[in-house]
């Protein structure tokens, strides 16, 4: 199975000023494109040649895992944003957030703290277990909650390439701003 570079569901400048066109062009057009190309080259002749991304992430290691993980992570990342956010979740997702953290604000505070405190490069995720119970996970490098049997719902990239051009070393500022572009309808559809 040949993996394809995700087509963005919005224009490359549609998330400004939260994420600039320059960042989108580099993050999507260079970083993600590189992961997809590397993955396609690496899986030829392996048991992963015809596997979907989730299977590869669950069953691989080393360079194949890193490139598959980053491809899956970025596909989820880029599709969870919209030029106009829903402001906050509703329905089943909001109820699950309130059950876990008391309030949407409580969740946001804990999520931002997790993303800010992750040492080095990686991802912070809102994930659900099989019963729908939510948790926040911090994953190094290409990590994804699927490796722990969880379903990833919302993932924020805290590698510097995701925010440095727009926020320099202010990761916490970036984490506070991304809420303005989250498509909660998309996130809830993953639950």
Confidence of residue 87 (pLDDT cuts 50, 70, 90): confident
Tell me the average pLDDT of the chain: 96
Confidence of residue 40 (pLDDT cuts 50, 70, 90): very high
Q: For 45-66, write each residue's pLDDT tens digit.
A: 999 999 999 999 999 999 999 9
Q: Span 72-87, mean pLDDT?
A: 94
**Whole-angstrom Cα distance, residue 189 to residue 133?**
15
Which residues, at least 6 apart from 40, have a Cβ–Cβ distance to it below 8 Å?
Answer: 2, 3
Tokens representing 168 are: 């320099």
1 pLDDT above the threshold of 90: no
**Whole-angstrom Cα distance, residue 85 to residue 181?**
5
Residue scoring higher pLDDT (24 or 85):
24
84 pLDDT above the threshold of 90: no
86 pLDDT above the threshold of 90: no
pTM: 0.96
**Would you put residue 10 in left (φ > 0), alpha (ψ -120 to 50) or beta?**
beta
């Amino acid at each position: 199975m040949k993996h394809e570079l995700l087509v963005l569901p919005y224009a490359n400048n549609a998330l400004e000023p939260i994420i600039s066109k320059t960042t989108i062009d580099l993050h999507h057009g260079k970083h993600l494109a590189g992961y997809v190309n590397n993955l396609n080259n690496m899986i030829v002749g392996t048991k992963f040649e015809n596997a979907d991304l989730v299977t590869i992430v669950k069953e691989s290691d080393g360079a194949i895992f890193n490139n598959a993980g980053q491809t899956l992570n970025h596909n989820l990342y880029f599709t969870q944003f919209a030029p106009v956010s829903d402001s906050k979740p509703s329905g089943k997702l909001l109820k699950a957030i309130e059950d876990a953290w008391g309030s949407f604000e409580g969740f946001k505070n804990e999520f931002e703290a997790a993303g800010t405190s992750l040492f080095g490069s990686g991802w912070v995720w809102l994930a659900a277990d099989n019963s729908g119970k939510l948790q926040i996970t911090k994953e190094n490098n290409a990590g994804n909650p699927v490796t722990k049997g969880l379903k990833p719902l919302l993932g924020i990239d805290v590698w510097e390439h995701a925010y440095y051009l727009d926020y320099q070393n202010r990761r916490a500022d970036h984490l506070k701003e991304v809420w303005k572009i989250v498509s909660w309808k998309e996130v809830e559809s993953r639950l």
